[in-house]
Structure 1
Amino acid sequence: MNDLLTAMAKVCEKYPVEEKRLVVPNYQTGHVLCETLSQAGVGWVNLRTETPTGLALQIAGDYLAERHITLLDGYLTRYIVEEIVQRLQERAELHFFYKQKANRGLAAAITTSLMELREYNLTSSSLLPDGFVCSEKGQDIKLILQEYERYLEQQSLLDSSGLLALAIQLAASYSSEDGIIYLMPSFVQWTPLQRKLISSLAGEKLFTLPVDTLQENQGKSAISFYHAYGITNELREVLRRLQARRIPLDQVTVAYTNEEYVSAMYSLSLTLDFEFTVFEGISAFLTGPGRTLQGILSWVNSDFSTRVFSNLLQSGDLVIKPAGAQNEMPPIQAVRLLRAAGIGWGKDRYQLLEHYTQELGTEQAQQFNSLIQSLIKQIPAENNDGYVPFGDFCRALAEMVQLLARVKDDLDSIALTVITSCLKGIGELSSLEMTVEEAVDSLTDFLKKLKVGGSGPQPGQLHLSSYRNLVWSGRPYTFVVGLDANSFPGSVRQDPVLLDSERKKINADLPLSVDKLEDKLSTMAEALASRRGELVLSYPSFDVVENRELFPAPLLLQIYRQIKADPLLDYSDFLSSLGNPVGYTCGNADPLDEVEWWLCRNKKGELFDQVVVSNCYSNIGSGQKALNARQLSEPTEYDGALPVDIARSLSSEIFSCSQFEYLAGCPYAFFLRYVLGVQPPDEILFDPSKWLDPLTRGTLLHSIFCDFMRKLKACGERPDKEKHKSLIQDIAQHQINYCKQMIPPPSKLVFQREVNELFDCCYVFLAVEVHRDSEPLFFEVPFGLGPEKVAKAGCGLAWPISLDLGDGRSIRFCGIIDRIDKIGRDVYCVWDYKTGSARDYGEQLYFNKGRQIQHALYAIAAEEILKKEFPGRSPKVKFAGYLFPSVRGEGREVVRPVANRRKLVDLLNTLLEIMEKGTFVASHEGLQCHYCDYQLVCDQEAAVKKAKLLFENRVVRRLDPWRRLQQYV
């Protein structure tokens, strides 16, 4: 036993039946200590754990109950102080802190300092402003403290320091049982109020329990060292050593120096399937309810983005069970509903989900809509100044987490209770108003610091503890991790609110920054000295995140010198004694999991054949097969090459003109989209700098131009720049307003900028039309899209156009012609609006290698439509072209005369041959790659590189059609 347990054993032996009270910082500590004493073979009775707060409640409990005073939870103090600071700033009563906004950082710093003053029994009446470097600062601190005290009094609240102070006042008249023995660890950093209360109750019956020192402990425990490549490997080495020696997990304590080790151990426990306890608890962030709350906060902060909410739905942390539903709704169905509704983002736009689910009419969809609408309504709306009531916001979140969070185990159950209780507590207390972003940041910061599931050592489980609480554990095997110089002792800064120079003047007992550093060192020394059995000290010698080397803490060199009994040893001696850092492989030890097994085999050179890996991991095998195939000198199915018997059926489909051009642009992209049916996600994405994507913008302008020209046609008027400017403006504004409802702009500034650009396009269009000689006749003319489209347009063909290509081959195609103009008797022209740049539409590029054939195909379609509209006539399309009515296009017209249809037929035959041969290899030029929707699917650089090799290799006959296509300029 160590000195602490030995001293306890002596007291229990001397006073076997008397009541003994072990006063410790918290009840969990006392329980662990008493249990450790029992495990050491010491029997005891009447030994009860107490805390200073518990003792204070015993004394002052009746007093508080009679006056209806409630004990304040510590986590709420920050929100009280934040509210006080905000109110004082609004009233211009602060003179030092008036420039700083009452944010969570300032509030947290002031709260920490105020609570420390109260722990040392300093009140607003005893605080002198002259003790501060600036009297205005002292007056502000005094005023904030005074307002805090007033708030507690008005709300009938009492914080822990106030409770201790009250208990000390009442202790003289408190009648406790005689003969109670009090035991108090001497090394605990008690506050003056805590120490005074314990002393006043115990009197001469107080026994202070000592702790070992490193010098006294020398030789009482076997000490060893190692270093590791990152903290995960550092923890893995702990587990490897336990596995190698068959040491039970419940014989081991792992002490850490920073919080990263808790999350790293948590991840390892999930991967390797073992259980562990954490003395301080784990971050609520790591639990299901914690992730649920964080997901909801992200959703709200993203302006209710459906993408963010979809990620949360698919995380597995939510229970999607609307009221009245028998079973949970599969997440993928919920995500599809959100995407199909076209919401994108914006709280108000979730009405689109209601309209969409009503159209669907299914019970499940309507139930899901009811759930989403109820969630949306719970979040309080912003007022005219853009603020929300923080209390209402927290209460709404508590209800949402309670409803949605999935509870998978006991830890999740505890976390759900703690999180919802804290949110409700803040909600009941806070009257703050803040922006949604500030509210989200505040709660995110709170959630990061919130710990749940704290526990002492349990049977069958590894125990994880901060080095500050290591002294309480008595397990025979101890690992202390994270002993790099950055983590321990690390750097200690002055309190930003109460400087060291001010602390000396305010109260000589207030700890200084140097005291905090010494406290770290002494606490670690006491923890290490208390160890019996085996002690292993380690540090990460490399930070894998920051990609930099780390150095051992000075403490490690100090201990190494003691072990070797040589004070002249330096860091080079210590580092050389450590050998190589442990890494991702297990060396000669047994691997912890499959990954380590494979890494070890590979490192030893035992994996000579990829087949071994492929047989065990089919996905890796498939990937390796694809990789090998792409290295061949022939196109394979992994490059987009299909068997001919499958590919032949493709040419019988009905095509749009854009599909032909898409094929000519990149056959592989065509293969992914139209053969395999791989479609990009159909969702509206938030871009803070952009409202409309190019496709939506083009569709909007097409609609504006069509409505404008139809109205002029109905009135029998020709475009006039002065007369019709207001008309096109009104049409554009109406269409823009509708588009705004469907797609919310990210900001007023972006919206106005793009509206101005749209109006500029309208003015360019009007200016071009004023000087046009032809007569606009038909607009948005459909063909091959069914009778409904024709009826809506007033003209067109319900069936697709069939074009004979010779040798028994034909194609069918469909589309919408933007405009047909009359330029003479039975002579017409076809126009297609392009709202982008005219850069790729040069005078010499008639077909542009098949990427511009719409004008030729639409000319054929227009003649068929005109024959139907004017029976008995022989209409001819003289030319077809592209109109660029935008600022970028500068109103340019690109005219293509209709001639040499034999060449068009040859080009179409070539495109069909590409399809029929099934040769969907990527374009060797790679011109479309930058704008391609399949950049995540296609390895652009490798695909284009191979395509070039295949194109240049004339032996590869399958690419002959593609080579011929390049000749159609």
Structure 2
Amino acid sequence: MNHRWLVDLYEICQRDPFQRKILLADSHNQAEQWLARVTRECGPLLGAETETLQSLVVKRTKLELINRGFQLLNSEQTFWIVQNLMLSLSNRMEDYIPCEMVTPGIVKSFHQAIGDLRLAGIHSYDLSHNHFDTVKKGIYIIELLKMYEEWLEQNRCTDFAGLLNYLPESKDAVHHDLFILRDVDGLPPVKLEMVKRIAGSELVVLRPAPPFPSSLEDMDSHHIHLFRAAGNLAEVREVFRRICHQQIPFDQTEIIVSDYAAYNTAIYTLSQVLDIPCTFSKGLPVSSTKAGKAALVYLEWLESNYDVDFLLKGLRHGYLSFRHFGESITTSDLIRALEKSGIGWGRERYSVLKNSTAHTDDELTDEMDELLGKIFTALFEKLPDSQDESWTPLTILHALIDFLKRCSNLFSEIDNKVLHALHDHAQQLEIVSPHSLSNESSLRYVKEMVENIRINHEGPSSGKLHISSLEDGGQSGRTHTFIMGMSNNACSTQSRQDPVLLDEERRRIGGLSLSTEQAEHIYRERAARLGMLSGTVTISYTSYDPTDQKEMSPAYELLQVARIVSGDSHMDMTGLENVLGKTIGYLSSCKQGEYLLDGTDRWLDRLTDNGIVQNGYPSLQQAFRSVVRLERSKSLVDNNVLSEYEGIIQTDVFSVCYRNNPEVHLSVTQLERYAECPKKFFFSTVLNVRMKDTTSFDRTRWLDAASRGGLLHRIFYLYLNEMSQSIPSGVSLIHHEHRLQEITEQTISEYQALVPPPSPHIFQKECESIRRDVAIFYQMEQQRNGRPRYFELELAREGEPMEVNLGNDLVIRMKGFVDRVDELGPHTYKIYDYKTGSPSKFDVNEYFSQGTQLQHAIYAVAVEQWLRETGIDTEANVVEAAYYFPTERGKAEEVSRIQNRRTELSELVKHLLTSIETGSYVATKETKRCTYCDYRSVCGNESERAKEKWDLAENAPRLQSLKEVERFA
């Protein structure tokens, strides 16, 4: 293809080989690609150098700036100057832009407006109120520009536009360099004047190349290809298939994408999976690095009011590490300790670490406490207090850098680049000293700063695919180019007015480009750049967006290319549909000889024939042996006979024995759980499978149900224990309401220190509820005749499980705690179990409730036996057991059970143990019990299937003992 500008550039450089030629481009990368292409296609160049206008101006003015003692500020620094000035101005012009409106988006718009005015050579004294739509707006912008100019002067600083003042009026006669530009139309007045002052008469502007897509007319139509795909991922996969199938050298391929943010992550991910090396012209997002992920997690942790889940996420995924504080404790132990710590959110809640003992191993408790204390002391020491108004973006940035140094896995060069970028940001901010902001605003600024970091900006490199965008692609001169995402929305250059300086205001001011002019310049520049394409060009677009589930229209340029390829200059959209052909999906179409990109494509190839899905079951069976077992399980489940897949275990393979086995023991809760649902017992007790032991938090609640119950139990214990010890034996208990209130407030304070409440309002509300529960407890205790004797009585002998004789030669080993034992009279006792929930399930007419309420009866036998065997009361007789509900929710009820059915208890427990030991672990047929079960996601609808088979004759032998339990109401 004949690119006139390339030939012109080569001929210009060859006129005087020994003259210094400076090629001015938008970026050094762009200029290097131009020179490399000219050298490759036309021949070697001598004396040619590359510069950007900015780098050239900085070099030419550097010495003068030093002599005058001025400092050059970059765009990021001037942004913060504008932000500081807008905050100051908000105090005087609060009726136009108050302080709360000085957000990153607003500041960005005004910073852009100030920059445009400066590059147009316009000063504050050049403006008047008549230039603007409203007087207030005019006053504000003129004053802001004036303050900006004064700040630069007072602080001996300048922005890039101000460098014009340090360039001589005419070109220095000593210099005889030749300056070469492709285009000067888009340069604002100040930049154009800079070029004139530097280059003078030694400026050459190259003739434009044929624009895209008309530039493709010189190409062979066989080298132009079009296709459409159903989604970005499908489009990316198809491009990679074509590259691999045609065995195109990677370093001869450039992929140009219309939406860089939407495509680069998909391309990067797929290239990593396929091990294809790539370079990215605009770099990769910071989230593609471990350091970037760690930085974002840290900022989210601050933003969420120190929610510990964000730190846990970073630790689980491996981009956070606390090895800097000590290597003796593993990350998994640390994660489990944090999960159980009860921190949740809020800076003050991290104080629970000092009192937490819920760690993975007892021997790690002290060491873990010390380690966690060191970690969070270090994390908080760099941060101001949450209520402090001294937060600045610089403060957060310093804290973030310190966090990454201590707590992230910075092993790779790319991670260190992220850290260096943050250091650069901090150094730049130190010069302009951003004002103090609220913590929310400061976090928003820093988070946006981190998200805008791009790493690994690279030009085309040997042996690598090059990924570029419509804003900078098409200059590498590679022989194969793929242009992706050519939909109408992605490729249109719509003119949008500047939100601050409207087009009409720009006309009045003069020297400022209008939105239509900017859009036209962008379109012309892109068309000229893509006009440089040569070799084979493949153009595609996404015809269907699976995310939004809508059809997408192709760009007009795609229709123009189709007309060139077909030779039909009058082709319409219907003809374009025929040229594009069938829409390509995420999976390969599996045509004969098509390249299979990865495992997904290879599987589809095995499971389809000419695009039609075949019976792929034999292939699945061959590849995955578990499929055979799955099929067998389905056939057994569909059978009427209960199988091992429904909880019928073969005892010769897997045996469970609790009778006459000194190595195991049961709790009453576990026996009740088996009666409630044998499958639940199997998961929790036999297999020991449990939900992860983590604390869940509700920002509208101080204490969860378990913690609230523990607090009430603590109050009841402290009060009754103190009262019972204060009077001699045999004397009735005397109650003191004032003392109970004191204990209540003391216990609440202890829990408040352990678990700080989310807000004073919620704390006060829950405290009032606790005090009402305590008042109900006091009223119920005043009516009681017995005397409390034992609290939290452990049913054990020398730390070992207690052997409880239930009669009829049935002895079980068990452990447990009895909340309270009262002495009713000589050798007569009653036990209590505190309940803080609802009494609804404890029906007075249900003594055993089909085995789901055994605690009262078994504990009665165990306490009676313990009192006799220890010699405390050899004639002890527990005559009653009660479920005690001394709360508002419990309605001050007490459900008592007279202990006169011990023969039935022995028989019931024997049936339960027989069923357990014969391997019957079917799901309950009471489906309502599955509503709040932890294992519901594992069982699915198994309770429904079990219900259908429960009464079938073929299952009766295995369920006989379990069915016997149903008799015990």
Q: Same fold by TM (over 0.5)?
A: yes
Deviations 1:562-593 (Å, cap 9, x if unpaired)? 44454543323222332221112222212111
| Equivalent position to 1:392, from 386, 392, 395 | 395
| Equivalent position to 1:772, from 777, 780, 784 | 784
1:215-234 map, 5 Å: 215-220=214-219, 222-234=223-235
Deviations 1:250-301 (Å, cap 9, x if unpaired)? 1111111111101111111121111111111111121221111112222333
Percent same amino acid among aligned pairs?
Answer: 26
2:170, 2:200 within 8 Å by CA — same for their partners in 1? no
1:496-511 map, 5 Å: 496-511=499-514
- The aligned counterpart of 2:314 is 312
CA displacement at 1:519 relative to structure 2 = 4.0
1:312, 1:318 within 8 Å by CA — same for their partners in 2? yes
Secondary structure in 2 matching 1:647: coil
2:818, 2:859 within 8 Å by CA — same for their partners in 1? yes
- The aligned counterpart of 1:752 is 764
Q: Distance in 2 between matches of 1:700 and 1:485?
A: 64
1:884-895 map, 5 Å: 884-895=885-896
CA displacement at 1:427 relative to structure 2 = 5.5
Deviations 1:788-810 (Å, cap 9, x if unpaired)? xxxxxxxxxx752413453x542
Greater mean deviation of Cα atoms: 10-19 or 332-341: 332-341
| Equivalent position to 1:644, from 648, 651, 655 | 651
5+ unaligned residues in a row in structure 2: which ranges?
A: none
CA displacement at 1:23 relative to structure 2 = 0.5
| Equivalent position to 1:273, from 265, 272, 275 | 275
Secondary structure in 1 matching 2:305: coil
- The aligned counterpart of 2:812 is 811
| Equivalent position to 2:697, from 686, 705, 708 | 686
Secondary structure in 1 matching 2:228: strand
Q: Distance in 2 between matches of 1:369 and 1:52?
A: 53
Secondary structure in 2 matching 1:469: coil
Greater mean deviation of Cα atoms: 942-951 or 557-566: 557-566
- The aligned counterpart of 2:179 is 182
Q: Distance in 1 between matches of 2:642 and 2:71?
A: 78
CA displacement at 1:860 relative to structure 2 = 1.5
Q: Distance in 2 between matches of 1:405 and 1:455?
A: 26
Deviations 1:875-911 (Å, cap 9, x if unpaired)? 3333222122222221122222222222222221222
Deviations 1:9-65 (Å, cap 9, x if unpaired)? 221232322111000112111112111222224210111111111121122101222
Distance change in 2, residues 1:528/1:50 (3 Å): closer
Q: Distance in 1 between matches of 2:389 and 2:958?
A: 63
Distance change in 2, residues 1:948/1:434 (3 Å): farther
Secondary structure in 2 matching 1:420: helix
**CA-atom RMSD in angstroms:** 3.1
- The aligned counterpart of 1:964 is 964
| Equivalent position to 1:211, from 209, 212, 226 | 209
The one-letter amino acid paired with 2:315 is L
Deviations 1:91-134 (Å, cap 9, x if unpaired)? 23343112753222222222222222222223333232322222
5+ unaligned residues in a row in structure 1: which ranges?
A: 788-797
1:334-483 map, 5 Å: 334-339=334-339, 341-350=341-350, 353=353, 360=363, 368-369=371-372, 372-373=375-376, 375-382=378-385, 384-385=387-388, 388-407=391-410, 409-426=412-429, 429-483=432-486
Deviations 1:219-242 (Å, cap 9, x if unpaired)? 326332111111011011111111
CA displacement at 1:366 relative to structure 2 = 8.1
Q: Distance in 2 between matches of 1:153 and 1:617?
A: 74
CA displacement at 1:745 relative to structure 2 = 2.7
Secondary structure in 2 matching 1:314: helix
1:951, 1:963 within 8 Å by CA — same for their partners in 2? no
| Equivalent position to 1:596, from 601, 604, 612 | 601
Distance change in 2, residues 1:770/1:871 (3 Å): closer
> Please, what TM-score do these two structures have when normalized by structure 2?
0.91
Secondary structure in 1 matching 2:763: helix
2:867, 2:873 within 8 Å by CA — same for their partners in 1? no
Secondary structure in 2 matching 1:828: strand
> Please, what TM-score do these two structures have when normalized by structure 1?
0.91
2:117, 2:512 within 8 Å by CA — same for their partners in 1? no
CA displacement at 1:613 relative to structure 2 = 3.1
Q: Distance in 2 between matches of 1:211 and 1:719?
A: 104
- The aligned counterpart of 2:52 is 51
Secondary structure in 2 matching 1:227: strand
Greater mean deviation of Cα atoms: 626-635 or 829-838: 626-635
Q: Distance in 2 between matches of 1:767 and 1:367?
A: 45
Q: Distance in 1 between matches of 2:347 and 2:595?
A: 55
Distance change in 2, residues 1:661/1:13 (3 Å): same
Whether 2:75 is the aligned partner of 1:78: answer no
Distance change in 2, residues 1:834/1:137 (3 Å): same
1:559-708 map, 5 Å: 559-566=561-568, 568-587=570-589, 588=591, 589-604=594-609, 608=615, 610=617, 612-613=619-620, 615-617=622-624, 630-631=637-638, 633-645=640-652, 646-651=654-659, 652=661, 653-708=664-719
Secondary structure in 1 matching 2:841: coil
The one-letter amino acid paired with 1:748 is P
The one-letter amino acid paired with 2:309 is R
Deviations 1:819-871 (Å, cap 9, x if unpaired)? 22333443332221111112212223322222221111122223224435775
- The aligned counterpart of 1:521 is 523
- The aligned counterpart of 1:794 is none
2:229, 2:235 within 8 Å by CA — same for their partners in 1? yes
- The aligned counterpart of 1:534 is 536
- The aligned counterpart of 1:555 is 557
CA displacement at 1:394 relative to structure 2 = 0.9
- The aligned counterpart of 1:494 is 497
CA displacement at 1:335 relative to structure 2 = 1.8
Distance change in 2, residues 1:638/1:187 (3 Å): farther
Greater mean deviation of Cα atoms: 30-39 or 302-311: 302-311
1:879, 1:898 within 8 Å by CA — same for their partners in 2? yes
1:398, 1:423 within 8 Å by CA — same for their partners in 2? no
- The aligned counterpart of 2:65 is 64
Secondary structure in 1 matching 2:831: strand
Secondary structure in 1 matching 2:273: helix
- The aligned counterpart of 1:737 is 749
1:775-924 map, 5 Å: 775-784=787-796, 786=798, 800-804=802-806, 806=808, 808-867=809-868, 871=872, 874-924=875-925
Secondary structure in 1 matching 2:467: strand
- The aligned counterpart of 1:162 is 162
2:379, 2:403 within 8 Å by CA — same for their partners in 1? no
CA displacement at 1:474 relative to structure 2 = 1.1
The one-letter amino acid paired with 2:743 is I
1:838, 1:889 within 8 Å by CA — same for their partners in 2? yes
- The aligned counterpart of 2:251 is 250
Q: Distance in 2 between matches of 1:926 and 1:491?
A: 60
Q: Distance in 1 between matches of 2:366 and 2:732?
A: 53
Greater mean deviation of Cα atoms: 250-259 or 953-962: 953-962
The one-letter amino acid paired with 2:230 is Y
Secondary structure in 2 matching 1:125: helix
Task: Count residues with an aligned counterpart.
Answer: 947
CA displacement at 1:703 relative to structure 2 = 1.1
Deviations 1:707-728 (Å, cap 9, x if unpaired)? 12222323449789xx844433
Deviations 1:755-778 (Å, cap 9, x if unpaired)? 222222212222222333443333
The one-letter amino acid paired with 2:497 is Q
Distance change in 2, residues 1:899/1:552 (3 Å): farther
- The aligned counterpart of 1:792 is none
Q: Distance in 2 between matches of 1:81 and 1:725?
A: 65
Distance change in 2, residues 1:822/1:404 (3 Å): closer
Secondary structure in 2 matching 1:893: strand
CA displacement at 1:476 relative to structure 2 = 1.6
Q: Distance in 1 between matches of 2:136 and 2:896?
A: 78
Whether 2:206 is the aligned partner of 1:196: answer no
1:584, 1:599 within 8 Å by CA — same for their partners in 2? no
Distance change in 2, residues 1:474/1:629 (3 Å): farther
Secondary structure in 2 matching 1:576: helix
